[in-house]
Structure 1
Amino acid sequence: MLSGDAPLPVDDRGVAYGDGLFETVLVRDGRPCLWDYHMARLQAGCRRLGIPMPERDVLDRLPAQAGVGLLVLKLILTRGSGGRGYLPPEAPEPHLRWQCLPFTANERNWREGVRIRHCVLRLAIQPALAGLKHLNRLENVLARREWSDPGTAEGLLCDQGGRMVEATCMNVFWRRRGVLETPGLDRCGVAGTLRQALLERLAITEVEADPRILGEAEALWLGNSVQGVWPVIRLDDTEGHPLVEWQLTDIHREFQNVAQPLLGYPALPLTGTS
């Protein structure tokens, strides 16, 4: 099993076919945030793809190697080499690699909120891969190429049926008619670890939703396990024209303040409005 900085061979199936999984973990002074959620998702992905899961004690030792401070640990697990074309080997020997890099959260986005837009690209519907953080992320790459304006923080993605799924690298949440909602991810999309933790702590309903319902939302947020939760203050169409705008209120802060401590981030002060 390859690890650390060892180079992957040219015939590695992750390099050739995206045949593998990855996790991106926020680490504070050697202590990983939402670690059990990351390990559960990795194990679920290994089970579904038929890739042997590395020994848990091997994985558990990695965050401590990240060092002091706030860092991001990226784990990459591929099926390894071998097989014949797309046909995988009967007894795969996985390759595991990792990298630790310093990280600084975008606190301004927490405080002031972000502007986002709709993407033209539509995600393919593939239930066999839905929820997994697999290595084939070309759809996200193409979607992210749709804008270069630094004032646009993210792009919303729908599936081929026009249903909301996620942003290019974050999950989506909103409150409508007093109810917290998030897109169901049984057809496509990545089931984020912060999303899972919030589903267990708050009454969030998984729904099939046309993006037009966001015009009825009292609040909209994006979140992931590295950046935390960003409130959305403006949603644009695919050409950058504004569709919906929101003023930051206590509704935004209360949701953020459930999520932020899960990552060791500070709570945000209430605005005094609701």
Structure 2
Amino acid sequence: MQSWVDGQPASALASLKDRGLAYGDGLFETIAVKAGTPLLLELHLQRLAQGCSRLAIVADQALIRSELLAYAQAMGEGVLKLILTRGDSQRGYGISPGAMPRRILQASPAAAWPEANALSGIRLFDCTTRLAEQPLLAGLKHLNRLEQVIARSEWQDPACAEGLMRDTSGRVIEGVFSNLFIVRDGVLLTADLRRCGVAGVMRAALLAEAGRLGIPCHVTDISLAQLQQADEVFLCNSVYGIWPVSAFTDVSWSVGPLTRKLQGIARTLLDV
């Protein structure tokens, strides 16, 4: 399906003055679409609005919602990517007062992940690339993703479906393209993302569901030792749901009951 730019079918040329291209000045959302419906839309829009507020990008949120719904209806099935940039400006870091945000919508086929990833779990690669600590940008799905690009280039072995990323202090933060949870003595733990990392939409949904079900859960710092001593480990994102982690370095886990319970909830959230 053809991409849209500012609500219109895209031409082959992008503006060379766009600040998203020049500086990564913008945000993006990756949204699963089924039967013409963008899934977890409210959480995606909430995160986008928070990002716009933090970066001082003045965007028409109602217009973005309307375009997302129309584009999803037209594409039917797959993965929808929204890129929102600050728009055009002249040379230099200074923001042009009259810059108009640019909205780009792109469609991709649904990802064909191996079924075994969800059933028996995945091996997690130990990335050496560290996430820089920058509270101003922490949690945002901004366009600056070079840390993830470098981390993903560290392994080519198909036996590892994801990589673990830590911050410069060694704290466990997330996967390269997913959030990480551990279970210890029946308590669900996920990393504090106030210093770095991406506050995933599925992560937010699972924390809300855990709270609703009375499952003890904490957002906290997680050390490498805590990860290795966990009873259960799993990854999540808003496209594939939940993947249990079965192995990391020389540690292995069975798929635990809480992981399976939450996996069922994630499947429901990604259904229509």
TM-score by structure 2 length? Answer: 0.90
**CA distance in 2: counterparts of 1:99 and 1:21, whole angstroms:** 14
Matching residue of 1:234:
247
Aligned pair partner of 2:10 in 2, 5, 8: 5
| Aligned partners of 2:165 and 2:173 also within 8 Å | yes
Matching residue of 1:89:
96
Matching residue of 2:194:
186
Aligned pair partner of 1:111 in 103, 119, 125: 119
Matching residue of 1:28:
34
1:140 aligns with 2:148: yes
Distance 1:65 1:112, change over 3 A: same
Letter in 2 for 1:25: I
Distance 1:68 1:53, change over 3 A: closer
Matching residue of 1:257:
264
1:78-121: CA deviations, max 9, x gaps? 00111550111123211111011220452321112101121101
Matching residue of 1:271:
none
* 1:157-236 superposed matches below 5 A: 157-202=165-210, 203-236=216-249
Matching residue of 2:22:
16
- Tell me the SS of whatever aligns to 2:147: helix
Unaligned runs of 5+ in 1: 237-242, 266-274
**CA distance in 2: counterparts of 1:218 and 1:69, whole angstroms:** 39
**CA distance in 1: counterparts of 2:80 and 2:60, whole angstroms:** 16
* 1:39-118 superposed matches below 5 A: 39-66=45-72, 67=74, 69-106=76-113, 107-118=115-126
- Tell me the SS of whatever aligns to 1:140: helix
**CA distance in 2: counterparts of 1:64 and 1:142, whole angstroms:** 35
Q: Displacement, 1:53?
A: 1.8
Distance 1:255 1:73, change over 3 A: same
Question: Between Structure 1 and Structure 2, how many residues are aligned?
Answer: 259
- Tell me the SS of whatever aligns to 2:141: coil
**CA distance in 1: counterparts of 2:163 and 2:64, whole angstroms:** 36
1:126 aligns with 2:134: yes
Task: Report % sequence identity.
Answer: 44
**CA distance in 1: counterparts of 2:75 and 2:84, whole angstroms:** 25
- Tell me the SS of whatever aligns to 2:42: helix
| Aligned partners of 1:105 and 1:227 also within 8 Å | no
Letter in 1 for 2:10: D
| Aligned partners of 1:63 and 1:73 also within 8 Å | no
| Aligned partners of 1:70 and 1:104 also within 8 Å | no
Mean alpha-carbon deviation: is it higher for 143-152 or for 250-259?
A: 250-259
| Aligned partners of 2:206 and 2:262 also within 8 Å | no
TM-score by structure 1 length? Answer: 0.89
Distance 1:204 1:105, change over 3 A: farther
Letter in 1 for 2:152: R
| Aligned partners of 1:174 and 1:221 also within 8 Å | yes
- Tell me the SS of whatever aligns to 1:173: strand
Letter in 2 for 1:26: A
**CA distance in 1: counterparts of 2:224 and 2:133, whole angstroms:** 17
Q: Displacement, 1:54?
A: 2.5
| Aligned partners of 1:218 and 1:246 also within 8 Å | yes
1:179-199: CA deviations, max 9, x gaps? 100001000110001111111
| Aligned partners of 1:5 and 1:98 also within 8 Å | no
Unaligned runs of 5+ in 2: 211-215
Q: Displacement, 1:252?
A: 2.5
| Aligned partners of 2:38 and 2:68 also within 8 Å | no
| Aligned partners of 1:27 and 1:63 also within 8 Å | no
Letter in 2 for 1:216: Q
RMSD: 1.7
1:218-271: CA deviations, max 9, x gaps? 1000000011100010012xxxxxx21012243331121122211119xxxxxx
